[in-house]
Amino acid sequence: MREYVAAERPPVITGIVWGELLLRLAPISESYLRDLLRATGLPFEQPFAGIRQHTFEELEESLREMERVYAEAVAAGSRERARYCRRQVIGAKDRAKFLAQNPGTTPEKQQQKKEMAQWMLVWLEHPEVFPVWVEARKRALGAAQPGSD
């Protein structure tokens, strides 16, 4: 991967770069390739960036970007690309649920991951509604915080 990046010097990880690296490095998992590429600092195009969920801000940004790519794929009749977008969100939701149920995860992190999984479930049910829903959800959660009145 380092040789490819050094030789080709891609300014961004596009679908072409993503596909080329998957072929060259087969068998490699997409999540491992994504981790390796993130270490390069190169920006990603969605849907190849996947869903980032270290913070709620990252999660929201990722899901909004994915919704845009998903909507474009649906409008263009690209069912394969639309399914790929959904698979990325499903995988991220599954990781969040795993962490939420893992006894080794702190209670605070479990709560965070439960909420994040809920965000992704809403996205999966109605991606086009997600941007409005998430704004309402953030307001509701903010109102529930002590001292937020």
Q: What is the pTM of this model?
A: 0.87
pLDDT at 149 over 70: no
Q: If you average pLDDT over residues 13-41, what whole number do you get?
A: 93
Decide if pLDDT at 94 tops 80.
yes
- What span, in angstroms and rounded, lies between the C-alpha atoms of 94 and 62? 16
Q: What is the pLDDT of residue 147?
A: 42
Task: Please report the pLDDT score of residue 146 as a whole number.
Answer: 45
Instruction: Give the CA diameter of the chain.
Output: 55
Q: Which stretch of 66-70, 101-105, 106-110, 141-145 has the lowest confidence by average pLDDT? A: 141-145
Residue with the larger pLDDT of the pair 45 and 148:
45
Tell me which of 5-9, 60-64, 89-93 is least confident: 5-9
More confident residue, 117 or 2: 117
The three-class DSSP label of residue 12 is: coil
Unique residue bearing structure tokens 């809920």? 118
When pLDDT is cut at 50, 70 and 90, the band that residue 3 belongs to is: confident
Q: Mean pLDDT, the chain, as a whole number?
A: 93
Contact status, residue 71 vs residue 128, Cβ threshold 8 Å: yes
pLDDT beyond 80 at 145: no
Whole-number pLDDT of residue 4: 87
Instruction: Please identify which residue in the block is written with the tokens 């509604």.
Output: 129
Domain ranges of the chain: 2-40, 56-144
Tokens of 30: 């997409």
